[in-house]
Amino acid sequence: MDTEQGNNNEPKHQNKKHMKLFLVLLNCMLMAVGQVAGPLLVRIYYLHGGKSNWLGAWLLTAGFPVLIIPIAIAYMRAKSRAQAGRFLVTRWLFAASAILGILVGLDSYLYSFGLSYLPVSVSSLLGSSQLAFTAIFAYIVVKHKFTHYSINAVVLMTFGSIILGFHMNGDRPSGESKGKYIIGFFMTTSGAALHGFIMPALEFTYLKAGKTITFDLVLQVLFLISMFASLFCSIPMIINKDFQAIAKEAAEFGLGETNYYTILLIAAIVLQLSVIGSVGVIFSSTSLLGGLVSSLLVPVQQACAVIFLREVFNAEKGMALAMCLWGFASYLYGEYQISRKKPESIEEGSDHDLI
């Protein structure tokens, strides 16, 4: 009898495992699109006449209304099943989402400020240091257990980023003061540290939610986080009259008024995809994997900056690419080994098993 029940549970376990893998890959793709295209578009905004750092920050989560579509679909699906009370967010999750949203808004401002003074290649390098911060905070906040594979990945990818910094002095834009360049360095590094805290904090929020974490719940939490982040950035924009200045900026934009609005619109969409992907990776796996994927995308950002913004690519950047790929492969192989050693009778309600 027990054997027969075990055989019936095995296909269900395999389906759950495949779905988890699909969600991880899908969210990694969303992260890739947003994290690569978003900073490029924001940098283009600054290079051709954009001046508002708060507008650049606001773009990160301003696309949150698009989440109404999947939330509405989930609501209609639940209604067809005669399920009531589909607002799944508890008071704890609402309060945590508000705090996380404010932190995300502040974090996006720090990154936006850095991009106004730094090339994408340098900004992405400094941003990749969030992997080390994520690893540290994941250990402190959610007690993430390290294996020698994950430690190897963190070390390789961190050193790969450090290698990229050997020739950063030659990347300073012409005509920009050293003081502004240093401020950009400080703001971007601070943003990386804050981002490294936000990801484990979000994972901790899931763990302390007191209820099963479903995809519908994640969408609602993400909507709240993005809404509070947008509100946080909107307040200084209203005070500084940045919204009123948009029309003037568009008229004086180096690439033309139409391209100005197009860049802002596409940037808002792809940056929202990055936020969705980051939250989704944490939901379907762990905050550490999110940090590793983010660092893996750094060399891709470097390559796109060279192609589209004519930034310099050198041997150090090529070596960093190899180290990042090696580190990421090490992490994936370690997780594959862990999944093979897990017993078949994994708890059905577990939402945070690694792939």
Question: How does pLDDT run across 267-314, given as a tens digit for each residue?
Answer: 999 999 998 888 888 888 877 788 778 877 877 887 888 888 887 766
Neighbours of 78 (CB within 10 A): 15
230: pLDDT strictly greater than 80: yes
Neighbours of 162 (CB within 10 A): 15
141: pLDDT strictly greater than 80: yes
Measuring CA to CA, how many Å separate 336 from each of 21, 281, 331? 11, 17, 9
How far apart (Å, rounded) are the C-alpha atoms in residues 94 and 107? 20
- Looking at every residue in the chain, the average pLDDT score rounds to 81
- Read off the tokens for 45: 């905004």
Give residue for tokens 């994997």: 289
What is the mean pLDDT of the segment spanning 207-222? 86
pLDDT at 342: 58
What are the φ and ψ backbone dihedral angles of 60, each rounded to 5 degrees?
-60, -40
Residue type, position 204, single letter: F
- Read off the tokens for 129: 């240091």
Which one, of 287, 240, 314, lies nearest residue 139 by Cα?
287
Residues 6+ apart with CB under 8 A from 192: 126, 127, 128, 129, 130, 133
125: pLDDT strictly greater than 90: no
Residues 294, 192: contact at Cβ < 8 Å? no
40: pLDDT strictly greater than 60: yes
Helix, strand, coil distribution of the chain in percent, nearest 5:
80, 0, 20
pLDDT in tens, 45-58: 999 999 999 999 99
pTM (two decimals): 0.81
Residues 190, 125: contact at Cβ < 8 Å? no
pLDDT at 159: 79
